[in-house]
Structure 1
Amino acid sequence: MLVGLLFGTFAVCLILGVPVGIALALASTAYLYAADIDLSVVAQFTYAGMDSFVLLCIPGFVLAGNLMNGGGITDQIVRFGNSLVGHVRGGLGLANVTGSMIFAGISGTAVAETASIGAVMIPAMRKSGYDAPFAAAVTAAASTVGPIIPPSVPMIIVGTLTGLSVGKMFLAGAVPGLLLGAGMMLTVYMLSRRRGYPKGTWQGFGEVLRSSRAAVWALLMTALILYGIVGGVFTPTEASVVAALYAFVVGLFVYKGFGLRDLPGIVLESAIGSGALILLVGFANVFGWILTSEQIPQAIAQAMLSVTENKYLILLMVNVLLLIVGTFMETIAALIILFPPLLAVAQAVGIDPIHFAIVVVLNLMIGLTTPPVGVCLFVAANIANVPLSAISRAIVPFLICNLIVLLLVSYLPWISLWLPSLYFN
């Protein structure tokens, strides 16, 4: 009865369009009130969920992304991508995906990537003769690379929940992220040839060199973060501070995209964005505590293991479950609620935890572009000014591509474990 109230309240809030964090808080409060449990529990577990040293890196990475974006990095990344592939059929679409792969090393979040790249690429693609739904679909689909290629906010959350090495997960996400980007570029090229989308002109190696000089600062930021964490120079939290300082210097003195007078606005925007994210983690912790007290995670684990102990079938079941969950639940909330019990199941059947973490994050990223409530779809549709139904149809080929990559990563563990095995023996 009480569990029904918990999930019923949560479902009604989502249907009414209540933000996921608030929906979690309201559902948890309704359960505690009906169970006659002191409501001070909400404050206690919300604070406990936010009281993590690793979570401190979220504001740093969000600030670094906003500083680099405010400094004009998005335009430079798009220019570099266009200089490489703009002359190929569907070149602007290919540049869109390429830009997202480079920008992934800055933002760490899919929604930020959709908004930043989309604001530049969607109008440019429409002006060049691409269909608006296609332009929006490419942007939304490519944004899923963001949390796979390091740095990754969802992987940081996983590290907070379980103690898994964030450095190992960052390395484990690199090859799947590149594979995801390559698959989407192939999809863009095939669709562009079939539909006769335009291609630009080759601007020469001189333009490639000039644009690379500007875009290299973004690539150096990714290398700095990875080397620092993997090499043990600094922790993920310290890496976020270094990244923010780096972005400040590059944005102010190299790109000169903002001045000191713009800094308070950028900091405020970053504080609001990261504050909302961390508060969501806190509310999700209350929800997760209730689920644990009702032994729902244990029930999920027992139910799955009662069906089969074959790790390949377990992976299939997890993929189906998370693809469904990812279509309506925010990524961070889904991770906090579901990852610990699913990890217990995975380890029980001999699945490597780092490999499993990449599979789960990739699943939930695909959910961000899955109709009917994929968040990235809403952002891209709003920028392109197209109805959700149109972008939902246009995203289908990219979803098929991403699902193929998901199956490869799920059933070929070496794709994600190869790089970590080189550095962590």
Structure 2
Amino acid sequence: MVITFLVLLAVLMLVGTPIFIALAGSVAVTMGSFSHIPLTIVVERLFAGLDKFPLMAIPFFILTGSLMSAGGLSQRIIRLANLLVGRFTGGMGMTAVSSSMFFGAISGSSPATVVSVGSLLYPAMRKEGYSGAFSIGVLVSSGSLGIIIPPSVVMIVYAAVTGVSVGALFMAGVGAGLLYAACLLPYCWYRAKKDGVKPMTPPSWSEVLLGFKEASWGLGVPVVVLGGIYLGIFTPTEAAAVSVIYALFVSALIYREKSLVELFHSMVEAATTTAQVMIILSAASVLAWFLTSNGLATMLASSILSLSENPYHIFLLINVTVLIAGMFLDASSIMVILAPLFYTIGLRVGIDPVHLGAVLTVNGAIGMFTPPFGLNLFVAGTLKGVDYLQAVRGAIPFIGIALFALMLLTYVPAISMWLPNVVYGR
């Protein structure tokens, strides 16, 4: 039965079957062929996989990002980032990284960050003299900050399948995201120096203050979310709902760059994205139930632990496994399928679940721009003058940089754990 299931799952994914059909369908066919359990259990598990309170935050955070993007926030964030770092050599590349951090703190989505930042910055970087490969490479790699910097949809998924505190994960994401971004900045300086790109004229203080003023309303989203959670005013799910109200207020009444009809269209787009995420989560929960009920999860955990119980070795194995999975699956799917297994293994060898969540999230972020199926690579192909192969060539050096950041995060736990320890006294 196990071999049939694994072969069927592999075949369905290789032929390009939608992932939710591949996951739930392979379970249903296997059970129908080898088990007397009614197949209605598959439908029940589909719904049970979504019956988790933390998952309610996902549609709210997706809608927040959609509303703020439609409301004109992208331009303001990029202008502010350029005013802050554009004066340095490689400033335009640094602007891409900084803008992705700011926008990621609002959208929680990697593809949305690539599109929103890249559509404005890619033409500007090419005009300034940056090569096409570097320009698109820095955008697809820094765009993955969208799932590391809180609020992160991927971290919410991890919390839902493991029971770890969403607030603690968000705090860990701050340190992880800052480290990831800090590793990208020196390469931006190096490439600009090598290509002879000159920095922009330093702006005046009045221009910087004006940039802060224009972007301040949008940048209030992470303040409201993280501040509310930190102060104990509301839970992460409640914070997500509050962020929607705040985003709608800012987009409709403060920025007022889009009509109500256009804002409604952004809501429809957010609903579509939410449906795509949720159906994958529900199908993956069927797979998780199947693996657990047949003892496969325990067998896999025991097999891994038989190799070594050294947490450093286990972490290396986890990273390699997730990086390979990231070449073919999106980060949310990886979390649902693999996080419960690695969570169990991590507890047995003394790995902190919050630290593990931060490491898995960064792994997923790297997978977003790793060929052959990194989603950001395909999203970048929608930008004018960019194709898939160009995006792959540009991403390769940034994959190496991201792997270096991942190793630091993995083996220096204090980087991600310092803020959760301070806030929650862990």
SS in structure 2 of the partner of residue 50 of structure 1: coil
1:312–1:196 distance in 2 versus 1, CA, 3 Å: same
The structural deviation recorded for 1:34 is 2.2
Structure 1: distance between partners of 2:240 and 2:391: 34
Q: Is the 8 A contact 2:70 2:263 kept in 1?
A: no
Counterpart of 1:87? 87
Counterpart of 2:347? 347
Q: Is the 8 A contact 2:8 2:26 kept in 1?
A: yes
Give ranges in structure 2 of 5+ residues lacking alignment: none
The structural deviation recorded for 1:80 is 0.6
1:216-258 alpha-carbon deviations (Å, 9 max, x no partner): 2232210110111222211121111100000011111221122
Q: Which runs of 4+ in 1 moved over 6 A?
A: none
1:3–1:239 distance in 2 versus 1, CA, 3 Å: same
Q: Is the 8 A contact 2:380 2:387 kept in 1?
A: no
Q: Is the 8 A contact 2:5 2:26 kept in 1?
A: yes
SS in structure 2 of the partner of residue 396 of structure 1: helix
Structure 2: distance between partners of 1:255 and 1:103: 16
Q: Is the 8 A contact 2:54 2:156 kept in 1?
A: yes
Counterpart of 2:39? 39
Structure 2: distance between partners of 1:100 and 1:276: 23
Counterpart of 1:6? 5
Counterpart of 2:160? 160
Structure 2: distance between partners of 1:392 and 1:291: 34
Counterpart of 2:394? 394
Counterpart of 1:277? 277
1:85-128 alpha-carbon deviations (Å, 9 max, x no partner): 22322222111111001111111121221121112112222233
Letter in 2 for 1:210: L
Structure 2: distance between partners of 1:183 and 1:111: 21
Counterpart of 2:243? 243
For 1:361-380, what aligned pairs fall within 5 Å after superposition?
Answer: 361-380=361-380
Alignment TM-score, normalising by the size of structure 2:
0.95
The structural deviation recorded for 1:174 is 0.4
1:127–1:31 distance in 2 versus 1, CA, 3 Å: farther
Letter in 1 for 2:41: V
SS in structure 2 of the partner of residue 102 of structure 1: helix
Counterpart of 1:67? 67
Counterpart of 2:214? 214
Counterpart of 2:421? 421
Structure 2: distance between partners of 1:198 and 1:11: 50
Counterpart of 1:98? 98
1:20–1:64 distance in 2 versus 1, CA, 3 Å: same
1:19–1:135 distance in 2 versus 1, CA, 3 Å: farther
Counterpart of 2:307? 307
- Aligned identity (percent) is 37
Moved more, 346-355 or 87-96: 87-96
Q: Is the 8 A contact 2:104 2:145 kept in 1?
A: yes
Structure 1: distance between partners of 2:379 and 2:262: 25
SS in structure 2 of the partner of residue 203 of structure 1: coil
Q: Is the 8 A contact 1:32 1:39 kept in 2?
A: yes
Counterpart of 1:148? 148
1:139–1:19 distance in 2 versus 1, CA, 3 Å: farther
Structure 1: distance between partners of 2:11 and 2:125: 38
Counterpart of 2:123? 123
Moved more, 251-260 or 309-318: 251-260
Alignment TM-score, normalising by the size of structure 1:
0.96
Counterpart of 2:22? 23
SS in structure 2 of the partner of residue 382 of structure 1: coil
Letter in 2 for 1:173: G
Q: Is the 8 A contact 2:105 2:146 kept in 1?
A: yes
The structural deviation recorded for 1:384 is 4.6
Structure 2: distance between partners of 1:384 and 1:360: 32
1:248–1:62 distance in 2 versus 1, CA, 3 Å: same
The structural deviation recorded for 1:398 is 1.2
The structural deviation recorded for 1:317 is 1.0
Q: Is the 8 A contact 2:71 2:263 kept in 1?
A: no
Moved more, 385-394 or 232-241: 385-394
The structural deviation recorded for 1:151 is 0.3
The structural deviation recorded for 1:132 is 2.2
Structure 2: distance between partners of 1:253 and 1:418: 38
Structure 2: distance between partners of 1:254 and 1:62: 20
Structure 2: distance between partners of 1:243 and 1:18: 35
Structure 1: distance between partners of 2:6 and 2:219: 43
Letter in 2 for 1:227: G
Moved more, 97-106 or 2-11: 2-11
Aligned positions, number: 424
Structure 2 residue 261 is matched with structure 1 residue 255: no
Q: Is the 8 A contact 1:133 1:386 kept in 2?
A: no
Q: Is the 8 A contact 2:175 2:417 kept in 1?
A: no
Structure 2: distance between partners of 1:261 and 1:104: 25
Structure 2: distance between partners of 1:200 and 1:34: 66
Q: Is the 8 A contact 1:80 1:211 kept in 2?
A: yes
1:98–1:413 distance in 2 versus 1, CA, 3 Å: same
Structure 2: distance between partners of 1:34 and 1:282: 22
Q: Is the 8 A contact 1:5 1:30 kept in 2?
A: no
Q: Is the 8 A contact 2:218 2:250 kept in 1?
A: no
Q: Is the 8 A contact 1:90 1:192 kept in 2?
A: yes
Letter in 1 for 2:415: I
1:27-85 alpha-carbon deviations (Å, 9 max, x no partner): 22322332244322221100000111211111111111011001100010011111112
